[in-house]
């Protein structure tokens, strides 16, 4: 995204007024033009529906990058650490606000989030779309530089005092990923979902009990199916053909990607009860795959799996 397109995004029509008019909560921390000081807040913070009004206010003084992530999204797991790293590099001139989108429906609705990760900057309370997929670190760094230029043009030039990290506890070192898993992660970072799918399939061929590869395969297949999809068009097509399996599967994918998990499961379970033969098998297979994406212990999956079992027998 170029400087020009970032600037034009400030004139977008997304209405965030519902996130401003909330009860007062403790502010994420002061913004100023000064240097760091002991006891100052972190430039990376977790926020929620209840605290987002403070983030909106903070964006009038320093640009805020909002990382709307989900634990069910492997692309989120890939992108979020990169966002944090680059945010820390700019030493308080950008703040990163992390939102677990599945548990904050008001933020999800206000930003019209259809898939995760979804990353938006706020400059003076106005949204600037940045990413909707995992991207390489250099691209994040380039967009952050452009964001600072656009913020300066809008008069948003403050910074957050950065606390010294000398006393911070040492973070545990993550063990390296298995080679094929790393290959899949790298492919997701490039936006090459076909290569990521192939890597996970090879991992499962080597070890059919590799649960992490199975979960990753389901997630990246979902990313591949929903990339570039138009939710409104998909819903229109599904409404016009309620027994069209392909149309219903497409909407269910988009609902899961957008966090509307129960809607997706109910849609497919209702469809499973109406169709037969190969169509029925296709719906069952997609349900099982989406169960793996959301997580087998998730209460929504447990309920949907119970209903599927009753429909089978």
Does residue 49 or residue 287 have the better pLDDT? 287
User: Can you tell me the distance from the alpha carbon of 229 to that of 234, in angstroms, rounded to the nearest whole number?
Assistant: 8
In the chain, where does the domain assigned CATH 3.40.30.10 lie?
A: 3-159
User: Can you tell me the distance from the alpha carbon of 127 to that of 92, in angstroms, rounded to the nearest whole number?
Assistant: 19
pLDDT at 69 over 50: yes
For the chain, what percent of residues have pLDDT higher than 90? 37
pLDDT one-digit tens code per residue, 170-189:
555 667 889 999 998 888 87
User: Can you tell me the distance from the alpha carbon of 121 to that of 6, in angstroms, rounded to the nearest whole number?
Assistant: 10
User: Can you tell me the distance from the alpha carbon of 161 to that of 191, in angstroms, rounded to the nearest whole number?
Assistant: 35
pLDDT at 19 over 80: no
pLDDT at 91 over 80: yes
Q: Within its chain, how far is the Cα of 150 from the centroid?
A: 24
What is the pTM for the complete model shown?
0.49
Segment 91-100 shows an average pLDDT of 92
CA distances to 120, 163, 244, 247, 290 from 238, in Å? 29, 52, 7, 5, 19
Does residue 18 or residue 66 have the better pLDDT? 66
> What's the CA dihedral at 234, 297, 292, 110 to 10 degrees?
30
Name the burial class of residue 143, with classes exposed (0-12), middle (13-18) and buried (19+) by CB atoms within 10 angstroms of its CB: buried
pLDDT of residue 158: 84
User: Can you tell me the distance from the alpha carbon of 204 to that of 193, in angstroms, rounded to the nearest whole number?
Assistant: 16
3-class state of residue 295 by DSSP: coil
Pick the CATH number of 3-159 from 3.30.950.10, 3.40.30.10, 3.40.50.720, 3.40.50.300: 3.40.30.10
At 7, is the pLDDT very low, low, confident or very high (cuts 50, 70, 90)?
very low
> 229-313, which class in CATH?
mainly alpha
CATH number, domain 175-228: 1.25.40
Q: Are strands 118-123 and 64-69 parallel, antiparallel or unpaired?
A: antiparallel
Contact 84, 96 (CB under 8 A): yes
Contact 22, 48 (CB under 8 A): no
Segment 141-155 shows an average pLDDT of 85
């Amino acid at each position: 995204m170029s400087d020009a397109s970032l600037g034009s995004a400030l004139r977008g029509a997304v209405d965030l007024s519902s996130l401003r008019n909330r009860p007062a909560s403790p502010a994420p921390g002061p913004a100023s033009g000064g240097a760091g000081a002991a006891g100052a807040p972190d430039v990376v913070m977790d926020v929620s529906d209840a605290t987002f009004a403070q983030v909106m206010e903070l964006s009038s003084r320093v640009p805020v990058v909002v990382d709307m992530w989900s634990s069910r999204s492997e692309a989120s797991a890939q992108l979020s650490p990169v966002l944090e790293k680059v945010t820390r590099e700019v030493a308080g001139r950008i703040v990163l606000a992390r939102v677990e989108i599945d548990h904050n429906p008001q933020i999800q609705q206000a930003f019209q989030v259809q898939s995760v990760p979804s990353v938006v900057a706020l400059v003076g309370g106005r949204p600037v779309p940045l990413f909707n997929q995992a991207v390489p670190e250099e691209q994040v760094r380039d967009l952050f530089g452009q964001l600072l230029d656009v913020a300066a043009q809008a008069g948003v030039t403050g910074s957050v005092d950065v606390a010294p990290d000398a006393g911070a506890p040492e973070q545990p070192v993550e063990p390296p990923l298995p080679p094929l898993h790393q290959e899949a992660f790298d492919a997701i970072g490039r936006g090459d979902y076909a290569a990521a799918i192939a890597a996970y399939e090879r991992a499962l061929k080597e070890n059919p009990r590799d649960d992490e590869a199975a979960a990753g395969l389901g997630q990246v297949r979902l990313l591949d199916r929903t990339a570039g999809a138009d939710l409104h068009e998909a819903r229109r097509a599904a409404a016009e053909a309620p027994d069209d399996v392909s149309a219903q599967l497409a909407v269910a994918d988009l609902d899961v990607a957008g966090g509307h998990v129960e809607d997706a499961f109910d849609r497919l379970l209702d469809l499973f009860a109406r169709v037969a033969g190969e169509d029925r098998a296709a719906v069952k297979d997609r349900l099982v795959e989406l169960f793996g994406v959301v997580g087998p212990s998730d209460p929504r999956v447990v309920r949907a799996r119970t209903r599927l079992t009753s429909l089978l027998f």
